[in-house]
Structure 1
């Protein structure tokens, strides 16, 4: 077994351990279920509304969009946040000091975040399938469709999150990522049809992966009758695949370069300096 293969295997083992630890941490568990409860509560108040021009439930139509937005938000914001925290507490410095340590670190973090994303999606989706029987009308084919959208969505967002995290100076800078992502959520057709927005806003939304992930999720989980509120009254599967693949290529190209540059700059003195500044703020 060569060193890179060993690093990948250790990274996968680390990712599984980190994922298990999230379910022994009270704050992480509470956060997962509070989000699900808030979302299901919002759907309850939308139960009597319908999509414009259809008899289909607006609540059911909202479920896929929110799932897609959650993938983007967690992929960008959470990945960047973990990277910034691990940079501050010296975790990245320790990874850098071991052979292929950065590779193992990235594999582990990607694995743990991917498992957390899938778990979070299931916590929301499973209750919604009981509340809204019209979801996933294609049965097995709907779930297979959902799987490929989820897979390409994770590939399109997690590397981008790592790249953005490598550009932040500290964990407190994550707000610079969070606010734009929330802004994208407002224009990406998550809680209402994107066709209700001005044309130029629709054009902006279609540049970024959040809109396309929402569209891909809707095409997997909603019946064909719901397509009437989409742009061009089409699910546009090939465009969805193309845009998400393009963002995957961008992220996978940028992330290694930016992370290597960040790792080269890491030293014991820089970690100590950040800790000293943190202690001064606390004091």
Structure 2
């Protein structure tokens, strides 16, 4: 077995262990379930509201949009938060000191975040199919399409999370990323169709993967008639795959470079200095 294969296998097992631990830790479990459960509550209140004169229920549009939002939020924010925490507690430094440890570390994060993403999706999707009418979920193609969106979304957003997390020495500073993410979500057609927003906002929203993940989820879970409320009255499937693919390629190219540079700056003295600064703040 090659060293790289061993590192990937170790990362896979590490990711599974971290995922199981997250399901037994009250704090981690709360973090994983809070937003999905909150979105289910919002869904209950909006499910019977109509979107303009389209004849479509707002809840029907909202459910797949939230699924896309959860993919993006877990891929970017969860990954960024984990990286910032593990940079401070020395986990990243130990990975750097292990042969091919960084590869195993990244594989472990992919497994952990993929697991938490699936849990968050199920928390929204399972009650959603009973609460919302008009979903086109009666075919195998719809579920295959959803699986494809989830996989592409994780690949497109997780490297972004690694890049974001590498920018923060302190996990507390990662709260800024949360605020920026909430702003992007607010303009991405998650809570209300993008066609109802100003043109400038529409253009800005289409730069980020959140909008395209919501659109992709709607395209596989809603009937074709629902495309009438989208930009251009189309699901724009090729554009969705293209934009998410660009984000994925850019992230996969950029993330290893940023992580390597960050890892080179990690040392025992740098870790001790951050811990001393943390202790001074708590005194």
Does TM-score exceed 0.5, indicating one fold? yes
- What's the TM-score once normalised by structure 1's chain length? 0.97
* Native 8 Å contact 2:87 2:169 kept in 1: no
Q: 1:112 to 1:238 in 2, by over 3 A?
A: same
* Distance in 1 separating the partners of 2:72 and 2:229: 22
Q: 1:277 to 1:259 in 2, by over 3 A?
A: same
CA deviation after TM superposition for structure 1 residue 210, in Å: 0.6
CA deviation after TM superposition for structure 1 residue 133, in Å: 4.2
Aligned to 1:261: 261
Aligned to 2:271: 271
Aligned to 2:87: 87
Aligned to 2:113: 113
* Native 8 Å contact 1:52 1:229 kept in 2: no
CA deviation after TM superposition for structure 1 residue 152, in Å: 0.6
- What's the TM-score once normalised by structure 2's chain length? 0.97
* Distance in 1 separating the partners of 2:37 and 2:55: 26
* Native 8 Å contact 2:37 2:123 kept in 1: no
* Distance in 1 separating the partners of 2:205 and 2:161: 19
Unaligned runs of 5+ in 1: none
Does residue 57 in structure 1 map to residue 62 in structure 2?
A: no
* Distance in 2 separating the partners of 1:198 and 1:21: 44
* Distance in 1 separating the partners of 2:40 and 2:99: 46
Does residue 123 in structure 1 map to residue 123 in structure 2?
A: yes
Does residue 141 in structure 1 map to residue 146 in structure 2?
A: no
Q: How does 1:58-207 map to 2 (within 5 A)?
A: 58-207=58-207
Root-mean-square deviation (Å): 1.2
Q: 1:33 to 1:88 in 2, by over 3 A?
A: closer
Does residue 250 in structure 1 map to residue 250 in structure 2?
A: yes
Deviates further, 138-147 or 12-21? 138-147
Unaligned runs of 5+ in 2: none
Q: How does 1:8-19 map to 2 (within 5 A)?
A: 8-19=8-19
